[in-house]
Homo-oligomer: A and B are copies of this chain.
Amino acid sequence: MTRFFVTAEDMQPEFLVLTGENAKHAKVLRLKEGEEVLVCDGQGQECICAVSDVSEGQISLVVRHRQASQTEAAVRVSVYMAFPKADKLEHVIQKATELGAHEIVAFPSARCVSRPDEKSLKKKVERWQKIAASAAEQSGRGVIPEILVLASYKDALKRASQADKGILFYENERAVTLKMSLQTGNYRTISLLTGPEGGLEPGEVQLAREAGLDICTLGKRILRCETAPLCALSAIMYHVGEF
């Protein structure tokens, strides 16, 4: 069933209207009266609707059934990533969305080579949010992960440590595995943090430890900064029973 995202305000109880990009998309698909579509608010609520009218730039829908999204993970995983170079963040946003991340949070750290300046940031976040929306639609999700940018590494630690479980992956950690970390405690929310190309500094790792995060290895091989969060996210989704 074709999936459309609307704002939470546009999710009316009985009748919905698709406009703008959604109407254009519906036209491309040649939607006809009587056909069923899925409309999501991008926050986990969705409804199955029937097309009642197709006009220029506007598709009218009748709500048939409301439900919580069927494709969201039971555990909410937030992916915290130190700003990487170039288009790697876009890659991670697209893939982490497919893999079921609840939100994606970018932050600066000591060895970050690239960090967007204040001026360009607004446009970039808009672009990143669109990438997440597109990946959410394609993968059949009911939630569009929010893309957040924090001002400092300390802000990232503070926010990440509010999850039931916070995990930082560090290439020099040998003893503590992700499996060990996941085997203790009850958690409905997980934050996972990974560093930039040059890695995290020992002092930064120490700060994470003090903030209550588990410091874990991702194995004996050195993963690129864009591979690490996706590998960890895949393993976490596997661990919590998603597949």
Contacts and interface: CB of A to CB of B under 8 A. Distances in A.
B177 A221 contact: no
Contacts of A243: 177-179, 216-219, 235
A150 interface: no
A172 to B, nearest CB: 13
Contacts of A221: 71, 98-100, 139-141
A239 interface: yes
B230 A138 contact: no
Interface string A76-98: 00000000000000000001001
Residue among A218, A220, A223, A230 with the highest chain B CB neighbour number at 10 A: A220
A151 interface: no
A113 B231 CA distance: 28
Contacts of A238: 178-179, 234-235, 238-239
A70 interface: yes
A241 interface: yes
A223 B177 contact: no
A139 B224 CA distance: 8
A235 B99 CA distance: 12
A70 B231 CA distance: 20
Contacts of A216: 243
A222 B140 contact: yes
Nearest to A100: B221
Contacts of A234: 230-232, 234-235, 238
A237 interface: yes
Contacts of A98: 221-224, 227
Contacts of A179: 238, 241, 243
A84 to B, nearest CB: 15
A35 interface: no
Residue among A138, A179, A221, A238 with the highest chain B CB neighbour number at 10 A: A221
A234 B237 CA distance: 10
Residue among A217, A223, A232 with the highest chain B CB neighbour number at 10 A: A223
Interface of A: 70-71, 95, 98-100, 138-141, 177-179, 216-224, 227, 230-232, 234-235, 237-239, 241-243
5 contacts: A98-B223, A139-B222, A178-B238, A217-B243, A234-B234
